[in-house]
């Protein structure tokens, strides 16, 4: 928000420097980022009149001007500009003057003739071209003919102003205007606020309410809509004083009607719009939602496709405006317009924000509606605009207001106890001081008894609706620097975190320790990822929750699996020439119990890992082998070791997005809790993956109990171990993990380790069977094992394998 000091002084006395005012406003929560002196660097530039102008005798592009600078004698100045004529009033940089670019003017000779100064363009005075009319942007800046001669150009053009660049927080929409800021200035400076003048609503003749009608159909997005009329309109430039103030806050003057609506918006905070009354069919204004497939051509000449959520101002035949954002082209005020209807309305902020974002159309009006506009402002803005238009001779006002206001707004009342307000602030402020502070901010404080107030909030303070807000108002105006630091009095409790959080920390420490990088992806994505994964139509993960107001369509679906999040991240890195990507995420997935949602969804904490590329891309002494299935399986085993989890088993998986020959399901305590493997080539292409990628996804809640166990010290075995190899021939469909589980069970306490080292199919094994070779390690902590001890256990293992799987020892 840009605030002109000259403009603020119309409503409040400011007896301090702009820098001091900026500091005071910042201390009460209105952060001033910058104090801008508009005419900084300009010295000695005045207005001058071209008395005569002649072509230079030795140049085809230079002109010799005799200038009246208001000092009696004329001064000769040469210029190359082609838009200067006799009688023009222009800015003149005299000899010895300075310009914003640091130039100091000195007398010069140009083709043999003296030039004692320079005629200035707007750009040379530091004026932004976008704030000027098209005809003022090129060449010398031609001033109005009635401009005083010899006057300081800074005063003439409003460059003697100082502008505060204020970073307003979203809750302070009441300060998004000059009067709101002046109200804050009056409070912090202890000076009086002076309100602007308004036109009366009553009068003689046919009122505006008999010449136009208003209906609000979409009452949920528009609470009030009012119109006032001015006739016998004459479109012309607005007065110079108004143009100066508008330019100071980066608004380009256009004509008297547009400038007045912009002026009132900046002054009061109420966006306005002007309609050509004769172009509105039936002289009937209707506030409604856009029709399906409706298009509207806005004032910027763009044809815009609308959606049914958007607010449209219509007449009996068509849309004539995009409510709260921009007017329609068909009812634009032009030089031929004779009767104007001015609009002031209150629209729903969130709806305006969504419309503005969807159309990529953000205006000064939409920014104010997004923050909240005071409904009571409607009449003030209309009456102020009519007053200004009449004052500058733009036309004749028609009395009365045509409006629709279905449910009049009531001021917010807050019950508060002064002692609690002070306690919340944390210092001893007496009730009288707090009451004075609140009343100085236009709150009404009614005492209802001992330590009991009813505080009526000004209608423009949309951010205040509870007693905590009152404490904040008192604190910021009392002065945060006056609140002493105190040690809080509280009962100290032992801290801690949930066991699942300990598990997450252990997982992070383990995986980062072996070289993986943690990522944090969005909790929502586009439902297209389910098609990319190839999930069947009945897969429960497709039944995902949908966000009503997503950031964009790509973030509408709440995630039910982390896999697509990591695949997208891998693809992003591969596209940027990453030779190795090894990432993980620990996060929640959200599984609805029913749809439509009738209960909170089930939230599962999941570990997901994705690995792709070279195993050692930067190593000079090892081959750049590609990451394979056993890299991601090894990462899982490292995690399980750190969590003291034993007994994971692996089996066939039904996940369609995994390679059928390089994947498996992960089970724990008889329940499938995840999967891992290589991404199917088809799915790999859909996600834009350029190299084979492996993923893992597993629930971590089942591991909490194991992770909570305190590790027990075990002595290093004193007795030697015995190693034996066996090869078992079983049917090809028998799972190696099932074989391993059975061997471990039958091996008992003496069997301390089992490893598969070979799987063979071929001529020496009959068709439909396979040979699985295991290395078994036996050890007893109390004695040295004999061959007979080991042989007996192996016989028992083989007998069980034969009985359960129909297997036999391979010869």
The binding site consists of 463, 469, 472-473
HSE, side-chain direction, 13 A CA sphere, residue 665: 14
SS3 433: helix
For 2, the enclosing helix (H) or strand (E) is: strand 2-4
Q: Distance between CA atoms of 589 and 674, rounded to whole angstroms?
A: 13
Q: Distance between CA atoms of 273 and 233, rounded to whole angstroms?
A: 16
Which stretches within 2-157 are classed as H helix?
Answer: 5-8, 18-27, 153-157
Annotated binding site for Mg(2+): 463, 469, 472-473
Shortest CA distance to 507 belongs to which of 644, 383, 601?
Answer: 644
> Is there a cis peptide before residue 596, judged by omega within 30 degrees of 0?
yes
HSE, side-chain direction, 13 A CA sphere, residue 265: 27
Q: What is the 3-state secondary structure (H, E, C) of 269-325?
A: CCCEEEEEHHHCHHHEEEEEECCCCCEEEECCCCEEECCCCCEEEECCCCEEEECCC
- Per DSSP, 456 falls in state E
Neighbours of 305 (CB within 10 A): 12
Neighbours of 163 (CB within 10 A): 20
Shortest CA distance to 365 belongs to which of 176, 155, 236?
Answer: 176
Strand ranges (E), 480-622: 517-518, 524-525, 557-558, 580-591, 602-613
Distances (CA, A) of 644 to 635, 665, 673, 697, 703: 14, 20, 17, 19, 9
HSE, side-chain direction, 13 A CA sphere, residue 336: 4
Neighbours of 480 (CB within 10 A): 12
DSSP assignment string, 129-192: GGGS-GGGSSSS-PBPTTPPTT-BHHHHHTTT-EEEEEE--TT-GGGSSHHHHHHHHHHHHT--
Shortest CA distance to 342 belongs to which of 415, 420, 238, 264?
Answer: 264
The residues with which 164 forms a beta bridge, in sequence order, are 3, 35
Distances (CA, A) of 268 to 188, 262, 383, 386: 20, 10, 12, 14
For 471, the enclosing helix (H) or strand (E) is: helix 467-478
Q: Does residue 368 contact residue 214 with C-beta atoms inside 8 Å?
A: no
Q: What is the largest CA-CA distance in the chain?
A: 129
- Per DSSP, 195 falls in state P
CA 565 to the chain's CA centroid: 21
Residue indicated by tokens 């308004």: 198
The token pair that represents 143 in the structure block: 């001033």
Distances (CA, A) of 94 to 106, 127, 235, 257: 8, 19, 37, 37
Residue indicated by tokens 């490893």: 755
CA 707 to the chain's CA centroid: 40
- Per DSSP, 750 falls in state G
Q: Does residue 203 contact residue 400 with C-beta atoms inside 8 Å?
A: yes
Neighbours of 734 (CB within 10 A): 18
The residues with which 650 forms a beta bridge, in sequence order, are 666
């Amino acid at each position: 928000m840009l605030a002109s000091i000259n403009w603020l002084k119309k409503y409040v006395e400011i007896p301090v420097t702009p820098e001091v005012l900026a500091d005071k406003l910042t201390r009460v929560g209105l952060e001033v980022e910058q104090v801008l002196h508009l005419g900084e660097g300009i010295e000695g530039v005045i207005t001058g009149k071209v008395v005569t102008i002649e072509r230079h005798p030795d140049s085809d592009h230079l002109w010799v001007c005799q200038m009246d600078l208001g000092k009696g004698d004329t001064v000769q100045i040469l210029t190359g500009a082609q838009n200067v004529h006799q009688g023009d009033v222009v800015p003149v940089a005299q000899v010895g003057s300075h310009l914003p670019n640091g130039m100091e003017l000195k007398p010069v000779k140009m083709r043999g003739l003296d030039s004692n100064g320079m005629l200035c363009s707007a750009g040379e005075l530091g004026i932004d071209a976008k704030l000027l009319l098209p005809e003022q942007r090129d060449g010398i800046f031609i001033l109005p003919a009635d401009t005083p001669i010899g006057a300081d150009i800074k005063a003439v053009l409003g460059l003697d102003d100082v502008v505060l660049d204020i970073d307003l927080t979203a809750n302070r929409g009441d300060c998004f205007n000059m009067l709101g800021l002046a109200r804050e200035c009056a409070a912090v400076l202890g000076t009086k606020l002076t309100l602007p003048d308004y036109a009366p609503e009553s009068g003689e003749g046919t009122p505006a309410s008999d010449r136009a009608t208003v209906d609000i159909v979409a009452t949920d997005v528009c609470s009030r809509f009012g119109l006032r009329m001015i006739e016998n309109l004459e479109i012309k430039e607005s007065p110079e004083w108004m143009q100066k103030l508008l330019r100071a806050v980066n608004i380009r003057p256009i004509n008297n009607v547009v400038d007045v609506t912009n002026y009132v918006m900046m002054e009061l905070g109420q966006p306005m719009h002007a309609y050509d009354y004769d172009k509105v069919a039936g002289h009937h204004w209707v506030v409604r939602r856009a029709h399906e497939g409706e298009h509207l051509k806005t004032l910027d000449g763009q044809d815009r496709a609308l959606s049914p959520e958007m607010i449209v101002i219509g007449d009996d035949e068509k849309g004539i405006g995009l409510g709260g954002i921009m007017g329609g082209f068909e009812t634009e005020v032009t030089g031929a317009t004779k009767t104007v209807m001015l609009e002031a309305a209150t629209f729903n902020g969130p709806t305006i924000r969504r419309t503005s974002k969807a159309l990529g159309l953000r205006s000064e009006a939409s920014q104010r509606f997004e923050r909240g506009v005071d409904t009571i402002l409607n009449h003030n803005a209309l009456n102020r605009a009519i007053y200004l238009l009449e004052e500058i001779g733009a036309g004749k006002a028609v009395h009365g207001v045509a409006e629709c206001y279905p449910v009049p707004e009531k001021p917010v009342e807050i019950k508060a106890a002064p002692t609690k307000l002070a306690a919340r602030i944390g210092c001893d402020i007496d009730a009288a001081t707090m009451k004075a502070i609140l009343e100085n901010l236009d709150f009404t404080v009614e005492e209802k008894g001992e330590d009991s107030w009813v505080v009526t909030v000004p209608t423009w303070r949309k951010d205040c609706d509870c007693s905590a807000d009152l404490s904040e108002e008192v604190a910021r105006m009392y002065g945060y620097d006056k609140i002493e630091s105190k040690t809080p009095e509280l009962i100290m409790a032992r801290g801690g975190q949930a066991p699942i959080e300990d598990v997450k920390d252990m997982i992070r420490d383990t995986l980062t320790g072996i070289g993986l990088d943690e990522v944090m992806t969005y909790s929502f994505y586009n439902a297209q990822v389910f098609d990319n994964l190839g999930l069947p139509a009945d897969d429960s993960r497709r039944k995902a929750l949908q966000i009503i107001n997503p950031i964009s369509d790509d973030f509408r679906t709440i995630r039910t699996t982390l896999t697509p999040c990591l695949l997208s991240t891998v693809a992003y890195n591969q596209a940027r020439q990453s030779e190795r990507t090894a990432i993980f995420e620990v996060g929640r997935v959200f599984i609805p119990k029913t749809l439509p949602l009738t209960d909170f969804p089930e939230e599962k904490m999941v570990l997901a890992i994705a690995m792709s590329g070279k195993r050692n891309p930067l190593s000079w002494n090892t081959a750049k082998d590609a990451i394979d299935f056993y890299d991601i399986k090894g990462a899982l085993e490292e995690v399980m070791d750190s969590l003291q989890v034993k007994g994971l088993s692996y089996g066939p998986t039904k996940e369609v997005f995994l390679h059928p020959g390089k994947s498996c399901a992960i089970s724990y305590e008889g329940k499938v809790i995840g999967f891992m493997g290589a991404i199917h080539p088809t799915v790999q292409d859909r996600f834009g993956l350029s190299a084979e990628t492996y993923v893992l996804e597993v629930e971590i809640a089942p591991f909490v109990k194991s992770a909570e166990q305190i590790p027990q010290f075990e002595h290093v075995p004193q007795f030697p171990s015995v190693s034996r190899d066996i090869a078992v021939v079983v049917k090809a469909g028998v799972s190696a993990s099932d074989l391993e589980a059975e061997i471990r069970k039958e091996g008992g306490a003496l069997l301390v380790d089992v490893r598969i080292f070979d799987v063979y199919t071929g001529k020496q094994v009959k068709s439909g069977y396979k040979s699985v070779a295991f290395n078994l390690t036996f050890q007893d902590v109390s004695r040295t094992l004999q061959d007979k001890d080991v042989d007996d256990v192996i016989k028992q293992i083989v007998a069980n394998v034969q009985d359960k799987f129909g297997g036999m020892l391979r010869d």
